[in-house]
Amino acid sequence: MCIEAKNLGMKRIIVPKENAKEAAVVEGIKTIGVENLKQVVKYLNGNEKIEPEKANIKELFSNSKIPVLDFSEVKGQENIKRALEVAAARSDIT
């Protein structure tokens, strides 16, 4: 959403506070994180100042952990799980 907003020439985007760090990864657009619609109205009317979210891309990606995939909680989809297992096994062969 933020990438498309930037592509459309927008300079600022308002997103939920929980998504602000992720959205701030897009450079060239100010990301404003808000907690509720009341805060949006206050911000747009100039009654509340909210600093744009800053994202340290190097820090975000250096601390990220690669999740361990576990199919034990996936019910059904046996053909898809089998295809993924075969693809993973074949990726080791080079």
Burial class (CB within 10 angstroms; exposed 0-12, middle 13-18, buried 19+) of 38: exposed
- Terminal Cα-to-Cα distance of the chain (whole angstroms): 38
Q: Is the pLDDT of residue 27 over 80?
A: yes
Count the Cβ atoms, other than its own, within 10 Å of residue 17. Answer: 14
Global pTM value: 0.61
**pLDDT tens column, 35-89:** 999 999 999 999 999 999 998 877 776 766 666 667 777 778 888 888 888 888 8
| Tokens 């929980």, residue located | 18
Burial class (CB within 10 angstroms; exposed 0-12, middle 13-18, buried 19+) of 30: middle
**pLDDT tens column, 55-68:** 887 777 676 666 66
The residue extents of the domains of the chain are: 2-91
Rounded CA-CA distance 54/15 in Å is: 13
